[in-house]
Amino acid sequence: MRVLFCSEHFPKAREYTAEVLPPGMDVVSCRQEDFREKARDADVIVPFMFRITREVMEGSRVKLINQYGAGLEGVDIEAATELKIFVANIPSHDTGNALSVAEHAIFLALSLFRKPREMERSLREMKIGFPIGETLWGKTCLIYGFGNIGKCLAERLRPFQTKILGVRRSPLTDGEKKLLDGWGTPADLKEMMKEVDLLFVCAPLTDETRDSIDEAVIGSSGKGFSLVNVSRGGVVKYSALLDGLREGKVKGAGLDVFWEEPFPPDDPLLAHPAVVATPHVGGVTEISYRTMAERLARNILRVRDGLPPENWVNPF
């Protein structure tokens, strides 16, 4: 079987998967410009950020499309179902992925408050005792998207003695409510933003969430706030964030995900002094990637043996 990783980025995903598959499996990666040609001979496609369209599927022998993670927004699931192609993902709750992303979200938040760019400048200029920073302690934090990552984040924010609010479209369980000091639905977001110091964006990218952190949401904060995005770039409206930073409504932005990836290094957002950016590494940890490689390999072997994959999202 040929397993195609649709990116030459995230190299450890392919490396770790190849390690746990039996000999004889052909595990390859491709560049964007070679994707259509390489997909024709693939039995398994791991999409990452690539769009897997009906045209791609019809022109290939693919049997399984399995994301290395949870997000399937780039896959035409309806077409895959019609073509009897399995589509599966790897939920984050028990792989180490959710806790890895949650830890990285806190790293970004702490970076915004402690100003590492200014620290580096002070070191170069041989200054000590500058800059003055802020604490995460005592802040009001809102987690937009209270799924697996959001819940892991809430658990890790509690020792900082923060006030934790959560927003989710579906009802919360009693156990989930215990992790929060307040909660609401997307309809409540603007009202809740009035007291928020730090907004964590953890919602998946869907038609409903695309550009949902927009001018109206940003403008609803009376005192200004900092933002951390560890979900998908498109959940936040680009122009609204850039304008918010320039106008001081957004005090700082910690970004691990972007509107296109790789993100242009000369984009004005990255040049803003209040932005801390990382190259989509929130879930890229040893525990997360090793576990997801094992899950992916298990699904590949199940499909090879005529069985449906685990976490199959399009039963037919």
Integer-rounded Cα radius of gyration of the chain = 21
Catalytic residue (choose from 82, 261, 294, 310): 261
- Establish whether 191 is a catalytic residue: no
Tell me the HSE value of 44 on the side-chain side, using a 13 A CA sphere: 28
- Establish whether 304 is a catalytic residue: no
Instruction: In whole angstroms, give the CA distance from residue 36 to residue 206.
Output: 25
Residue 88 CB partners (closer than 8 Å, separation 6+): 64, 65, 66, 67, 299, 309, 310, 311, 312, 313
What DSSP state is assigned to residue 280? S
Instruction: In whole angstroms, give the CA distance from residue 231 to residue 212.
Output: 13
Q: Which of 314, 301, 310 has its CA nearest to residue 43?
A: 301
Catalytic residue (choose from 14, 104, 168, 232): 232
Q: Is residue 250 classed as helix, strand or coil in its secondary structure?
A: strand
Binning the chain into helix, strand and coil, the percentages to the nearest 5 are 40, 15, 45
Instruction: In whole angstroms, give the CA distance from residue 280 to residue 261.
Output: 9
- Establish whether 93 is a catalytic residue: no
Q: How many residues does the chain have?
A: 316
Catalytic residue (choose from 104, 168, 280, 295): 280
Q: Identify the helix (H) or strand (E) that includes residue 45.
A: strand 44-46
Tell me the HSE value of 133 on the side-chain side, using a 13 A CA sphere: 15
Residues involved in catalysis: 232, 261, 280
